[in-house]
A and B are shown apart, each in its own frame.
Chain A
Amino acid sequence: MKRFAFIGLGMVVGFIAALGVLPAAHGANDMGAYRQLDLFSDAFERVRANYVRPVDDSELINAAIEGMVSSLDPHSSYMDAKAFADMQIQTKGSFGGIGIEVTMENGLVKVISPIDDTPAAKAGLKAGDYIAAINGVAVQGLDLNAAIDKMRGPEGSKITLTILRTTDKALAKKPFDVTLTRAVVAVDQVRWHREGDVGYIRMPGFNETTASGLESAVRELKRQIGPGIKGYVLDLRNNPGGLLDQAVQVSSDFLTAGEVVSTRGRHAEDTQRYDAHGGDITGGKPVVVLVNGGTASASEIVAGALQDHRRATILGMTSFGKGSVQTIIPLGEGGGALRLTTARYYTPSGHSIQAQGIVPDIAVAEGDEEDIPRIARPSEADLPGHLANGDAATHHPSAPIIRPPSSGAKPADFQLSYALDLLHGKIAGYPVKSAQAN
C-alpha cells in the first residue's frame, strides 16, 4: 500500500541488533563529547534567541537530530513521534481502519481501491469515490495524513463517510453517507494462488505476519494442488524489505539446516549468526525466487540464503544491493526514534551484498530494462567511509539477459512465465534447484 511507503527502500529492523553494541567508548573520549555538546547547546541558544521569528524547541531539536543522523548514510534517519507510530503499524502488519488505499485529488480524498474483505469493501466503496466529509467534518483543507488519521481508529468503532460518486451519473451531484465499523486491516499480506501445478507466492514486504502468511500459503497450496505439485515460485520483486527476523524465518522455511545470514556490527563481538531451524515446509520441492532492481534488504537476505544453499533458482534482474541493517532506537516517550545503521549482513557464503546486489542465476528481463551497474548509484555504492563493500569478489552475470520476444504475444508477466517453464523442465540446460538435487 503506497501510502505507507514512508519506510523507504529496504529496512531491516531489529531491536535485537542493538544488543551487544554496548557503550564502549566512555572515558578518555568523553571530554571531547562534552565540548561538542557544549558547542551544540551554544548554537541552539543562538537560534532560539536570534532567529527572525520564535521557533519551537522540539522543531529545532528534531531538525538537529535528523541532520546528525542522516549525515551518516542514506539509510539512517530520524522519525518524529508521528512517523514512528506509522512505522510501528507497518511493522505490525495491521491497523484499525476501514481498508482503503487513498490519494488526494481536488482537495478531497479519492479512493484508489478498497482492500478485499475490509469494512470499506463490504460497505460497497468503489475505486474513484471521493470522500467529502469524515463524521460530518469537511475534508477540504485537510492534508492526506490528517484525513488518514481521522479514518483510522480502534477496531469496532464507528465512522461515517460522506461519499461523492462521480462515476455514477445518478449520484454525481448527490453526496451520500456511509457508516462503517472499523476492523483490523492487514498491510502487505502474503498473497498466493495456484498456477496449474505450481504454487505462486507473492511477498510485498516483511512484517510480523509474513512468515506465518508463507506457512499458511504453502499449506493451502499443497492441499489445493495435491501430491502432483511441481514446485513454488516465490515472488520478491519490488519487495523493499522489512523485519530481519521474518526474513530469517522465511529462509528457514525452505532450508533444513545451515546458516541463513550473519550480521556484523562495529565490534567483532557484535557478530550474530542466524541458522535454519524447524525443517523445510515444502518437503524439498523446487523453488524459483523472482527478483528485480526493487528487491532490497530483507528480500536480498532470503534470495542470498536460498542461492548460497543452492536451494532455489534465482531468476530476474540484479537486486538493489542494500546490505546494511538498521536498528530502531526509541528516544523516550513522545521523542520519536532513530533508525540507525548498526550492522552489515553477510550471506552464508560470507558475501556482503552491499552495492553489489544478488545476481540472478538466470537473468530474465521483464522488458528492455538494463541491469543498472550498482556502482553508478551513489546512494549505495558510495556510502560514506566504512560502508563500502569490503568484498574483493565481484559478481558479474556471464550469460546474456533473456528478454521477452519483441514480436508476437508477450506473456503478461514474462519473468513469471519463464519461471513456470523452468519448473516444468521446458528450459534446456537449467536443472531446477530442489533440495533432493543437493
Chain B
Amino acid sequence: MRGLSLVAIGALAGFGLAAAVTHFAYGANLAGLRTENELARFGLAFERVRDNYLSQPEDRRLVESAINGMLTNLDAHSSYFDPDAFAAMQTKAAGAYGGIGVVISERDGAAKVVSVVDSMPASKAGIMPGDELVAIDGIPMQGHSLDDVSARMRGTVGTAVKVTVARAAIKPFELELTRDAIEVERLTYRREGDVGYIKIVAFSDRTEPDLRAAVSALRRQIGPSLKGYVVDLRNNGGGVLQASIDVCDDFLDSGEIVSVRGRSAQDVERYDAHPGDITGGKPLVVLINGGTASASEIVAGALQDHHRATILGSLSFGKGSVQTVMPLDNGAGGALHMTTARYYTPSGRSIQVTGIIPDILVSGGPGAPEYEREVELPHHLEAEGPPAKAMGMPIVPAAGHSYLDFQLSMALEFLHKTLAVGGTAPKHA
C-alpha cells in the first residue's frame, strides 16, 4: 500500500521535530526517556495533522487546542487561556473591563446562555436564555472551557465582540455587540427588623471593607437590640481566596481559617484568624445552597468548624480545589489555569464533592432551581476522606403558606428562637 511510505516519512520528520525541542529537558534516566517518547508522539501527531489535514491548519491553533485538551481533561476547573483571553483576564484584574451581560453554563461541551442581564448589550441584541454561543469573534467555542468563553467575551468597554448564536431549528447567526461596563457585584445589606442581613455575591478585594462598613451601618441603624446577622452566601460562586479569609477573620478571634495543600506534603499554607470579631460575638446564620462554591465554602466551612455560625439552607456545590494561573512565555503564549492545590477546613476536612452540609437543612421552597454540583461535572477531582454523613429531611414550607424567601425566613425565625427544630441552638463566641 502506497500510504505506508508517507507513514515512514512523517515518522522521521515528527521525531526529529519533537526531539529538537525536548532533549534538553531530561537526563538519561528511564522515566525521562518515557516522557521524551510521549512528547515525540505528540510531535508526530502534530506533524501529521499539519501535513495531511484537508485545509492548512494554523500551527498556533493546533498547539493551543492541544494545550486546552490536555488541561480540560485534568478536571472540571483546569483550562487554558489563549493569549487574547489571558490579556482580557489581566484587563479585568486591572479593574477596567466590559462584557456583554450573559450568564453561561456548559452543556455537552457547548456554552449555553443561562440568563441575560437587563439593559446590557446581550439582552438589547435579543440574546435569549437557551441560546448556544457557537463562536466568539469567529472562533468556534465547542470544547472550550467556560472560563475561556467568558474571558473572550470580556474586554475594554466600548470595544466590539462578534458572537455567533445558535438557537433551536434556525440557522446560526452572528451579532456584533459593543462591550459595556460590567458592574462588579458588591456586597449589599439591609435591616430585617432587629437582624442585620448581608448578601455577599462574590469575593473580591472590596468585599471585606464593604463588610466592615455594612456591619457598622447595621449596628447604628438597629441599635443595641440587634439580635444577630444573616450572611447570605447563596449563589456565591467564589472569587479571590484572600477575600474569603479576610471575611472569616472578621468573625473569628483566633484559630485556623483554612489550609491549602499542594501536591507535595511540605507544600502546605495555613491561614489563621487574628483577634477581633467585628460583630462583638453576635449570633450569625450563614445561608448556603447548591450555588455556594469555592471561596464561599471556605467561609461556611470555617465558621461551621469553629461553631461560630449556624449554617442554614441546602447542600453547597462542593468545589474544594484551588486554581493557579501560570503564564506561558511571559503571557505571549497565553496561560494555564490549573488546579494546583486542595483546601481543607480547620477540622481538616476537604469539601471536594461532599460540599458543606448545613446544620439546619431548609429547602429553597417551590421554584428553587436544581443546581448542577461538582460531582456532576465531567472529570471532577475525586473526594477525599470518609463519605459524607447522610443528610436528614429538609424543612419545607407548610402547605398553604407562601414565602418570598423561605430560607431567609427560617434564618430569621432561628435567630428569634422561634424555629421549631431538633437542631442546635445558636452558637456564638
Contacts and interface: CB of A to CB of B under 8 A. Distances in A.
B108 to A, nearest CB: 11
A340 B62 CA distance: 13
A67 B143 contact: yes
B395 interface: no
A36 B45 CA distance: 13
Contact of A52 (B42, B80, B170, B340): B340
B70 A52 contact: no
B44 A332 contact: yes
Given A32-B59, A52-B321, A72-B57, A43 B70 contact: yes
Contacts of B78: 51
A127 B3 CA distance: 43
Interface string B11-55: 101000110111001000000001100110111111111111111
A387 B2 CA distance: 26
Given A46-B338, A50-B338, A341-B53, A68 B13 contact: no
A343 interface: yes
Contacts of B52: 18, 21, 266, 327, 329, 340, 342
Contact of A15 (B1, B38, B263, B328): B1
A33 B13 CA distance: 12
Nearest to B68: A67
A257 interface: no
B54 A52 contact: no
Contacts of A138: none
A146 interface: no
A66 interface: yes
Given A61-B38, A70-B69, A41 B48 contact: no
B340 A332 contact: no
A37 B1 CA distance: 31
B324 interface: yes
Main secondary structure of the interface of B (DSSP, over half): helix
Contacts of A33: 17, 46, 50, 59
Contacts of A61: 38-39, 41-42, 70
Contacts of A83: none
A41 B25 contact: yes
A45 interface: yes
Most buried by A among B51, B70, B72: B70
A45 B134 CA distance: 31
Most buried by A among B18, B66, B71: B66
Interface stretch (A280-288, A375-383, A418-426): A375-383
B333 A72 contact: no
A19 B10 CA distance: 12
A262 to B, nearest CB: 15
A22 interface: yes
B405 interface: no
Interface stretch (A23-31, A214-222, A401-409): A23-31
B67 A16 contact: no
Given A39-B328, A72-B49, A340-B49, A64 B56 contact: no
Contact of A37 (B35, B43, B53, B329): B43
Contacts of A68: 45-46, 49, 62-63, 65-66, 69
B389 interface: no
A19 B67 CA distance: 29
Interface string A329-368: 1111001001011111000000000000000000000000
Interface residues of A, number: 77
A16 B172 CA distance: 36
B164 to A, nearest CB: 8
A22 B69 contact: no
A64 B171 CA distance: 31
Contacts of A386: 54-55
A147 B132 CA distance: 38
A34 B68 CA distance: 19
B9 interface: yes
Given A36-B59, A38-B21, A61-B42, A266 B53 contact: yes
A4 interface: no
Given A16-B1, A375-B171, A36 B70 contact: no
B166 interface: yes
Nearest to B57: A72
Contacts of B70: 43-44, 47, 60-61, 63-64, 67
Given A33-B17, A57-B38, A23 B9 contact: yes
A45 B140 CA distance: 27
B90 interface: no
Given A16-B3, A47-B338, A61-B39, A67 B69 contact: yes
Contacts of B66: 40, 64-65, 67-68
Contacts of B35: 48, 57
Contacts of B381: 52
Nearest to A328: B3
Contacts of A26: 13
Contact of B340 (A51, A54, A375): A51
B74 interface: yes
B3 A37 contact: no
A265 interface: yes
Contacts of A34: 17, 20-21
B339 interface: yes
B140 A384 contact: yes
A19 B52 CA distance: 9
A145 interface: no
A58 B31 CA distance: 12
Contacts of A387: 54-55
A19 B1 CA distance: 9
A52 B328 contact: no
A201 B3 CA distance: 33
A71 interface: yes
A41 B21 contact: yes
Nearest to A33: B59
Interface of A: 15-19, 21-26, 29-30, 32-34, 36-48, 50-55, 57-61, 63-73, 76, 78, 265-266, 324, 327, 329-332, 335, 338, 340-344, 375-376, 378, 381-382, 384-387
Given A64-B69, A329-B52, A342-B53, 18 more contacts: A21-B51, A23-B51, A33-B17, A36-B62, A43-B71, A45-B25, A46-B328, A54-B263, A58-B38, A61-B70, A63-B73, A68-B45, A71-B62, A329-B7, A332-B44, A335-B41, A381-B171, A387-B54
17 contacts: A16-B1, A18-B6, A22-B9, A34-B17, A39-B333, A40-B46, A41-B22, A43-B333, A45-B25, A46-B338, A47-B70, A50-B326, A51-B263, A61-B41, A63-B69, A68-B62, A73-B54
Chain A to chain B: the 3 pairs with minimum beta-carbon distance, closest first:
A67-B69, A63-B73, A71-B65
